[in-house]
């Protein structure tokens, strides 16, 4: 009988004597298990694409100019004019726009046998400061005033100054559609919400999120780096330090809402209340810092992201070879000089990674902010040209909370649904890009280390 | 010269070194202190709910009835005892029906009047005169220079000498007055108080067949309870056509005092030689009856039962033993209230308990919370309920009902959400981890792993949005399609593996290189399409009436649109990266020799994975699951948005739940600081902190021990 020998990559050679020269079986349950594992990976990755697909699909009407339809339900004798908001098998939800005496702009059109749909090119959509979206046909009045014949055949006089824009959605060619698409995207990004968030954009929420995160960065970076340097460079490597380190790492696993409760109790009511007593006593009992606000939100999130920065920075510190430090000491450098001139610059990429991960975590976090400073609508931005420019005591809007509030707390949910998804898409992309950036930074510097060390 | 210079420099360098050391160490310690302060702060803010104290304030002189007749009321400002008898007569400054303000003197002979105070509204007084006049006063102020003053809101003249037995303020400002003569009870009800003067309307008039020692109006004026000392009772309906109900309180004899609870659905009875019974009005088969829901026996013979502020019932013994009951749900003995023994105990209009001793009175300063660890976690009989139950209702449905703080339903809600999510997340994450660690080529692994890990940063508010607004309504219509896909997906993967093995690409391969993934994707998409095609037919065959009625009729299950099933999948996706990362690290750390040894002994790849790698990495996988559990319990936004947030206690997949974290998110912004509710929420936060911290620490300990052991192999 022939002997069979296998040599492993580690140099172990095994010699075996196959009992019979059986063929390898065509299919084993192994293969199924392997494919099931592969399937799990695909499901996990697919979930992300699925999420994006849902967000994009539902956010589409916020940006892309959808046609305005005119439905005639012959059986029931009903007529509707408007843009589709959502579809299901039995019916479509449409936005009818402003109509005199109608409180709900959303209507449900049942798909039935006798339903006739048409898209007349002369239908106009007008975005109006007071009325929001209005659908109709321009009346051919000789005087040239802007009067619109609405779906219920009433005549609506519109002041030209109050019209944001108007266009004929059914008569757009490709380039005009793209023009409106871009206009919509820009207005979404750079305009405040109008008409109870059915129009306009999410600009204040973007600004609020960015300002809060930047403020948080100011707190968390020095503290996080200091903490990491202390734990790794100065604290004696004993049982206590190990315990503390595990404690700090585990703080990353504490539910974020607990940080919110802590922030509300200690920062807002405790610290804020004291500040009010000392410096703003003339305004009491109306609280200045003793209520949720920008500063407290930033501090709370700084505490929340502290473990992220500490972990990342310590990882970077640990990666620096002892030989480098020893070389530095051998040249007569003190510990401080070694740290400042050698170790910290080399740790910079790790700190960057920690910073980006902290920002990504903070940008997506909503639960603690609900307790310490966000509001559904804040007309004033937390930064302004007015002294003191950065308003630390002010409440602010936040993308994540905007999603929760519009989608789950407000009354006219259907009218703002596309906007909720659009906001979610924006937040999702921001966090995704930040994370990808963090991975890229880490990979790039890891490679550079390997080359240089 | 140069040596000196160098010395200067050295000194400076060493100083900088020392300075940096000091600042880093102090900074680092500051960070650690900040972190530790979270824990300490939460404990500190939780403590007030367990703090109890009772002390006697400085005694003060009080103007008392000169003949020593028993006082009926005390005012603290000015300190004055009010009695109906003797030299001090009661005055009422009444705004009479023609809007004139006159003073009425209640004659010095108290036998001329009877007076009833409402337990639900201490500004309400009913007074009867011997001459048959029955008057109702509202907004009575006991502290005015005259004994008390109020607004006369209604007056009525009877043709007999009435005695007021019960005064009850119901909803919509309707007031019930029960008066009696020697043989009959007369139950009057007023129109809404807003229309002054109110008119009285006779509801029922019944003969007193047993002795009517205690009369109470219950259930917002639907029933009148007539109870005698030995425990026999009658329930008389406001509706004269309805029959009376009668019965007996089995365990209560020699009843000495009864107090109706504010909810109007129960009373507390002091009976015998110190038994306290909590009795509730319940309906059985549409017929009302009194049922004892709770009872205690005191070690001493209490002489007084009083209703104070915050629904506290004080039980006072002859030697100043004081016990407090919270609406009949739990009892607590307070520390002795000092040496001073009072002749009388009274409750001031503000609800303070005051002891009176001749001309001296002393208020009890008490800090009593209505909760204890037992009531926070255990079940309780609440006002208006016949059975003990676990209820979380932090703001009463109606003003009269007490807030109910039982954390258990929230705790179980958190566990339900986390466990269902883990059922989805663990198989997915662990099989994905095993696959990437041992079956995937290294080149692909370093790409796939960071991507899967970065899923941890997905904003949960986005996942919650998808769960609540998209997935929940979608699932209600496509439930079968989803379930069929769940079965078809694994099946399609098995088929894909067969095809791969048979194809030239798979011959003799033991690892996947990447192109096979495409095959798997194609098969999975095909199975999804198949499920979509098949589902409508299956659905119309299996559940023609629709999912909701199918579950209700066929299985007796309730279906809510936002339910645990939704949470399981969406929260499951959120938990995958946490579980995956740690499990993958553990699996990948299993030394290559172990696997190669197994393979060399003839094991197949899967056999090696199952019987060598998985057991070796088992502690790591356990710690991964624990960390996933901690994350699931603490997750807020997804459960907040994907469930109905009703505090239920069931394991039904198709109903929602309310978690600890969602409760914090919803109630914390509304609650004002330093209230009991606030401290209970702090306690919930502390529980979340301790639970997740403990689980994570144990998991981390298991993990690091495993990795150390692996390194030594």
Per-residue pLDDT tens digits for A59-115: 888 888 888 888 777 777 777 888 887 777 777 778 877 777 777 777 777 777 777
What span, in angstroms and rounded, lies between the C-alpha atoms of B89 and B108?
A: 5
Q: Return d(Cα B624, Cα B305) in angstroms, integer.
A: 56
Q: Look-up: residue for tokens 């109110």?
A: B198
Task: Look at residues A170, A149, A137 and name the one whose alpha carbon lies nearest to residue A69.
Answer: A170
* Chain A residues lying within 8 Å of B498, measured CB to CB: 27, 31-32
Query: Which residues, 6+ apart, have CB-to-CB distance to B622 below 8 Å?
Result: B699, B702
What is the CA angle B424-A34-B486, rounded to 5? Answer: 35
C-alpha to C-alpha distance for A325 and A339, rounded to whole angstroms: 9
Nearest CB among A44, A370, A417 relative to B428 is that of A44
Contacts of A46 in chain B (CB under 8 A): 521, 524
What is the spatial distance between Cα B691 and Cα B407, in angstroms, rounded to a whole number? Answer: 14
| B509 domain-assigned | no
Q: Three-state SS for B620?
A: helix
Q: Which long-range contacts (CB under 8 A, 24 or more apart) does B697-702 make?
A: B697/A246, B697/A247, B697/A250, B698/B623, B698/B626, B699/B582, B699/B622, B699/B623, B699/B624, B699/B626, B699/B627, B699/B630, B700/A246, B700/A249, B700/A250, B700/B623, B701/A246, B702/B619, B702/B620, B702/B622, B702/B623, B702/B626
Question: With 60 as the cut, is the pLDDT of residue B106 above it?
Answer: no
SS3 of residue B229 by DSSP = coil
pLDDT band at B67 (very low <50, low <70, confident <90, very high): low
Coil/strand/helix, residue B282: strand
Residues of A in contact with B581 (CB under 8 A): none
> Which residues in chain A touch residue B644, judged by CB atoms under 8 angstroms apart?
none
Across A40-44, B102-106, B546-550, least confident range: B102-106
Q: Is residue B94 scored above 50 in pLDDT?
A: no
State the pLDDT at residue B386.
Answer: 66
The shortest CB-CB distance from B576 to any of A44, A58, A261 is to: A44
CB atoms within 10 A of CB A323: 9
The burial class, CB within 10 Å (0-12 / 13-18 / 19+), for B293 is buried
B42: nearest CA partner in chain A = A262
Token pair for B207: 């003969």
Cβ-defined contact of B32 to A10 (cutoff 8 Å): no
Span A257-282, mean pLDDT? Answer: 86
pLDDT in the model for residue B1: 46
CB count, 10 Å around CB of B320?
18
Is residue A259 very low, low, confident or very high in pLDDT (cuts 50, 70, 90)? very high
Answer whether residue B553 shows pLDDT above 50.
yes
- Contact A104/A93 with Cβ under 8 angstroms? no
- Residue B686 lies in domain: 408-474+561-712
Q: Is the pLDDT assigned to residue B92 strictly greater than 60? A: no
Does A256 contact B682 at a Cβ distance shorter than 8 Å? no
What values do phi and psi take at B583, rounded to 5?
-65, -40
pLDDT digits (tens, 9 = 90+) for B246-275: 888 877 778 888 888 777 778 888 887 778
DSSP β-ladder status, B175-180 and B163-169: antiparallel
CATH code for the part of the protein at A203-452: 1.10.3720.10
Whether B36 is in a domain gets the answer no
pLDDT value, residue B304: 82
Does residue B485 lie in a domain region? no
**Secondary structure (3-state) at B190:** strand
Q: Nearest CA to A119 among A65, A74, A180, A41?
A: A65
Instruction: Provide φ and ψ at A236, rounded to 5°.
Output: -65, 140
Mean pLDDT of chain B: 79
Distance between CA B114 and CA B563 in Å, rounded? 58
CB proximity B460 to A under 8 Å: yes
Q: Centre a 10 Å sphere on the Cβ of residue B396 and count the other Cβ atoms it contains.
A: 14
Residue B347's contacts (CB-CB under 8 Å, 6 or more residues apart) are: B306, B307, B308, B314, B353, B354
Contact with chain B for residue A392, Cβ under 8 A: no
The residue behind tokens 């379930």 is B483
Structural contact between residues B187 and B223, judged by C-beta atoms closer than 8 angstroms: no
**Percent of chain A clearing pLDDT 70 (strictly above):** 89
Q: Which residue has the tokens 């309504």?
A: B473
What does the DSSP assignment read for A131-177? Answer: TEEEEEEE---TT---EEEETTS-EEE--GGGEEEEE-GGG--HHHH
Strands (E), B181-244: 184-190, 200-207, 214-218, 223-227, 232-237
Number of domains in chain B: 1
- Picking from B306, B327, B307, the residue whose alpha carbon sits closest to that of residue B316 is B306
Residue with tokens 């959400």: B417
Q: Is A201 in contact with A183 (CB distance < 8 Å)?
A: no
Determine the Cα–Cα distance for residues A140 and A209; give it in Å rounded to an integer.
47
Residues 6 or more apart whose CB falls under 8 angstroms from that of B412 comprise B649, B657
B19 touching chain A per CB within 8 A: yes
Model pLDDT for residues B437-463, shown as the tens digit of each residue: 888 878 888 888 888 887 887 889 999
In a domain, B648, yes or no: yes
* φ/ψ bin of B62: left (φ > 0), alpha (ψ from -120 to 50), beta (otherwise): beta
The number of CA neighbours under 13 Å toward the Cβ of B307 is 19
What length is written for chain A?
A: 453
Distance (Å, whole) CA A346 – CA A316 = 8
**Percent over 90 (pLDDT), chain B:** 10
pTM of the model: 0.82
- Sorted by sequence, the CB contacts under 8 Å of residue B286 that are 6+ apart come out as none
CA distance B345 to B314: 10
Average pLDDT (A212-233) is: 90
Residue to substitute from A13, A17, A37, interface B, most B β-carbons within 10 A: A37
Q: Chain A to chain B, count of Cβ pairs less than 8 Å apart?
A: 331
> Which of A403, A209, A321 is closest to B460 using CA atoms?
A403
B465·A336 Cβ contact <8 A = no
Residue B91 and residue B105 in contact, taking contact as beta carbons nearer than 8 Å: yes
Predicted pLDDT at B684: 92
B47: contact with A, CB 8 A cutoff: no
Nearest CA to A349 out of A274, A408, A279, A437 is that of A437
Query: Does position B53 have pLDDT exceeding 80, yes or no?
Result: no
Helix (H, G, I), strand (E, B) or coil at B57: coil
Residues 521-550 of B with CB under 8 A from A: 521, 524
Mutation pick from A15, A39, A52, A290 vs chain B, by most beta carbons of B within 10 Å, is A39
The residue of chain A nearest to residue B569, with distances taken between CA atoms, is A47
Question: Is the CB of A12 less than 8 angstroms away from the CB of B593?
Answer: yes
Q: How much is the average pLDDT of A169-198?
A: 83
**Extents of the domains making up chain A:** 32-63, 69-191, 203-452
Minimal-distance CA residue of chain B relative to A19: B602
State the residue for tokens 């659908």.
Answer: A135
Poorest-confidence range of A111-120, B23-32, B406-415, B593-602? Answer: A111-120
Q: Phi then psi for A57, rounded to 5 degrees? A: -60, -45
* Inter-chain residue contact B28 with A407, CB threshold 8 Å: no
- Residue A144's pLDDT band (cuts 50, 70, 90): low
- What pLDDT does A1 receive? 44
Which of A113-117, A178-182, B276-280 comes out lowest in average pLDDT? A113-117
On whether any CB of chain B is under 8 Å from the CB of A453, the answer is no
Give chain B positions within 8 Å (CB) of A260. 664-665, 668
Q: Residue B240 corresponds to which tokens in the numbers above?
A: 């004269």
Residues B663 and B425: beta-carbon distance below 8 Å: no
Task: Please give the Cα distance from A154 to B378 (Å, whole number).
Answer: 64
> In Å, how far is B85's CA from the nearest CA of chain A?
47
Residue B422 has pLDDT above 90, yes or no: yes
Distance from CA of A370 to the nearest CA of B (A): 7
Asked if the Cβ–Cβ distance from B461 to A34 is below 8 Å, we say no
**Helix segments in A320-453, DSSP class H:** 322-330, 335-337, 344-364, 367-372, 399-404, 417-452
Q: Which residues lie closer than 8 Å to A228 by C-beta, 6 or more apart?
A: A309, A310, A311, A313, A314, A317
b vs e for A59-87, b when ≥16 Cβ sit within 10 Å of the residue's Cβ?
Answer: bebbbebbebbbbebeeeeeebbbbebbe
Q: By the CB < 8 Å criterion, does B611 face chain A?
A: no
Confidence class for position A8, pLDDT limits 50, 70, 90: low
The CATH number linked to B581 is 1.10.3720.10
A57 touches chain B (CB under 8 A): no
């Amino acid at each position: 009988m022939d002997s069979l020998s296998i040599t492993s990559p580690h140099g172990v050679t095994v010699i075996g004597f196959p009992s019979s020269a059986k063929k390898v079986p065509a299919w084993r349950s192994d293969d199924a298990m392997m494919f099931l594992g592969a399937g799990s990976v695909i499901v996990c990755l697919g979930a992300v694409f699925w999420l994006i697909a849902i967000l994009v699909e539902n956010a589409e009407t916020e940006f892309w100019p959808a046609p305005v339809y005119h439905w005639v339900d012959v059986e029931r004798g009903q007529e509707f004019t408007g843009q589709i908001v959502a579809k299901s098998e039995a019916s479509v939800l449409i936005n009818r726009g402003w109509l005199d005496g109608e409180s709900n702009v959303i209507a449900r059109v049942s798909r039935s046998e006798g339903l006739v749909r048409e898209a007349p090119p002369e239908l106009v959509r007008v975005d109006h400061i007071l009325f929001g979206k209005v659908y109709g046909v321009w009346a051919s009045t000789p005087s040239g005033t802007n009067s619109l014949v609405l779906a219920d055949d009433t005549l609506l006089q519109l002041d030209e100054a109050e019209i944001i824009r108007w266009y004929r959605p059914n008569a757009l060619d490709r380039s005009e559609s793209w023009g409106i698409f871009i206009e919509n995207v820009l207005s979404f990004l750079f305009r405040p919400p109008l008409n109870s968030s059915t129009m306009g954009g999410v600009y204040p929420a973007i600004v609020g999120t960015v300002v809060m995160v930047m403020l948080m960065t100011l707190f968390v970076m020095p503290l996080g780096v200091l903490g990491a340097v202390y734990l790794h460079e100065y604290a004696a490597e004993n049982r206590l330090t190990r315990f503390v380190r595990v404690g700090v790492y585990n703080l990353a696993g504490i539910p974020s809402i607990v940080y919110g409760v802590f922030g509300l109790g200690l920062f807002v009511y405790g610290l804020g209340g004291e500040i009010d007593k000392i410096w703003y006593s003339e305004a009491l009992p109306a609280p200045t810092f003793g209520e949720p606000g920008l500063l407290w939100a930033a501090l709370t999130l700084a505490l929340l992201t502290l473990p992220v920065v500490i972990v990342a920075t310590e990882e970077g510190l640990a990666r620096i070879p002892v030989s480098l430090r020893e070389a530095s000491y051998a040249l007569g450098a003190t510990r401080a000089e070694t740290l400042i001139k050698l170790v910290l610059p080399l740790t910079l990429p790790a700190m960057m990674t920690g910073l980006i991960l902290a920002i990504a975590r903070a940008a997506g976090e909503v639960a603690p902010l609900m307790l310490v400073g966000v509001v559904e609508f804040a007309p004033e931005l937390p930064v302004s040209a007015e002294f003191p420019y950065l308003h630390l005591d002010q409440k602010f809007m936040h993308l994540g909370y905007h999603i929760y509030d519009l989608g789950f707390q407000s009354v006219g949910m259907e009218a703002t649904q596309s906007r909720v998804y659009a906001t979610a898409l924006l937040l999702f992309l921001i966090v995704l890009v930040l994370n990808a950036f963090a991975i890229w930074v880490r990979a790039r510097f890891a490679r550079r280390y390997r080359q240089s060390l | 010269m140069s040596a000196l210079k160098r010395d200067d420099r050295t000194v400076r360098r060493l100083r900088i070194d020392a300075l940096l050391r000091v600042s880093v160490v102090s900074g680092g310690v500051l960070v650690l202190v900040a972190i530790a302060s979270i824990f300490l702060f939460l404990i500190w803010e939780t403590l007030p709910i367990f703090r109890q104290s009772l002390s006697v304030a400085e005694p003060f002189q009080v103007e008392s009835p000169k003949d020593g007749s028993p006082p009926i009321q005390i005012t603290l400002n000015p300190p004055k005892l009010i009695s109906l008898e003797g030299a001090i007569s009661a005055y009422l400054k009444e705004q009479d029906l023609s809007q004139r303000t006159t003073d009425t003197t209640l004659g010095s002979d108290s036998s001329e009047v009877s007076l009833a105070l409402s337990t639900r509204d201490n500004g309400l007084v009913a007074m009867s005169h011997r001459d048959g006049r029955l008057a109702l006063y509202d907004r009575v102020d006991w502290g005015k220079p005259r004994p008390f003053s109020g607004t006369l809101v209604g007056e009525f003249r009877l043709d007999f000498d009435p005695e007021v037995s019960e005064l009850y303020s119901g909803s919509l400002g309707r007031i019930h007055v029960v008066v009696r003569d020697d043989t009959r009870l007369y139950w009057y009800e007023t129109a809404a108080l807003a229309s002054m003067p109110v008119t009285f309307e006779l509801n029922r008039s019944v003969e007193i067949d047993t002795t009517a020692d205690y009369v109470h109006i219950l259930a917002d004026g639907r029933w009148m309870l007539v109870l005698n000392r030995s425990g026999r009772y009658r329930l008389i309906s406001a509706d004269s056509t309805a029959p009376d109900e009668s019965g007996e309180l089995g365990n209560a004899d020699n009843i000495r005092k009864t107090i109706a609870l504010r909810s109007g659905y129960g009373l507390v009875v002091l009976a015998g030689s110190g038994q306290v019974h909590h009795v509730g009005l319940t309906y059985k088969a549409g017929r009302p009856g009194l049922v004892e829901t709770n009872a205690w026996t005191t070690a001493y013979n209490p002489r007084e039962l009083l209703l104070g502020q915050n629904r506290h019932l004080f039980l006072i013994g002859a030697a100043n033993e004081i016990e407090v009951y919270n609406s009949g749900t739990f009892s607590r003995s307070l520390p002795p209230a000092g040496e001073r023994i009072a002749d009388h105990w009274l409750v001031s209009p503000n609800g303070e308990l005051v002891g009176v001793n001749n001309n001296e009175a002393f208020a009890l300063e008490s800090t009593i919370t209505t909760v204890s660890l037992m009531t926070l976690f255990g079940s309780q009989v609440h006002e208006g309920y016949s059975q003990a139950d676990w209820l979380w209702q932090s703001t009463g449905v109606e003003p009269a009902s007490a807030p109910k703080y039982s954390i258990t339903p929230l705790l179980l809600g958190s566990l339900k959400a986390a466990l269902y999510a883990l059922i989805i997340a663990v198989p997915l994450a662990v099989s994905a981890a095993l696959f990437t660690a041992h079956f995937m080529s290294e080149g692909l692994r370093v790409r796939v792993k960071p991507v899967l890990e970065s899923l941890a940063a997905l904003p949960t508010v986005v996942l919650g949005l998808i769960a609540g607004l998209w997935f929940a309504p979608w699932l209600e219509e496509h439930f079968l399609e989803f379930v069929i896909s769940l079965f078809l997906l694994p099946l399609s993967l098995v088929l894909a593996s067969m095809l791969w093995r048979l194809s030239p690409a798979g011959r003799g391969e033991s690892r996947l290189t990447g192109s096979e993934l495409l095959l798997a994707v194609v098969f999975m998409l095909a199975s999804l399409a198949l499920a979509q095609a098949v589902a409508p037919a299956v659905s119309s065959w299996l559940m023609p009436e629709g999912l909701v009625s199918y579950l209700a009729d066929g299985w007796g299950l309730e279906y809510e649109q936002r339910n645990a099933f939704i949470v399981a999948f969406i929260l499951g996706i959120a938990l995958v990266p946490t579980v995956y990362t740690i499990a993958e690290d553990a699996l990948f750390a299993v030394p290559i020799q172990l696997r190669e040894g197994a393979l060399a002994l003839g094991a197949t790849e899967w056999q090696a994975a199952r019987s060598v790698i998985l057991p070796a990495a088992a502690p790591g996988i356990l710690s991964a699951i624990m960390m996933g559990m901690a994350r699931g319990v603490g997750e807020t936004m997804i459960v907040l948005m994907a469930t109905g947030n009703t505090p239920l206690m069931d394991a039904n997949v198709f109903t929602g739940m309310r978690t600890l974290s969602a409760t914090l998110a919803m109630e914390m912004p509304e609650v004002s600081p330093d209230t009991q509710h606030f401290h209970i929420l702090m306690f919930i936060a502390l529980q979340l902190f301790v639970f997740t911290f403990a689980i994570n620490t144990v998991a981390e300990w298991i993990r690091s021990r495993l990795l150390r052991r692996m390194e030594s192999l």
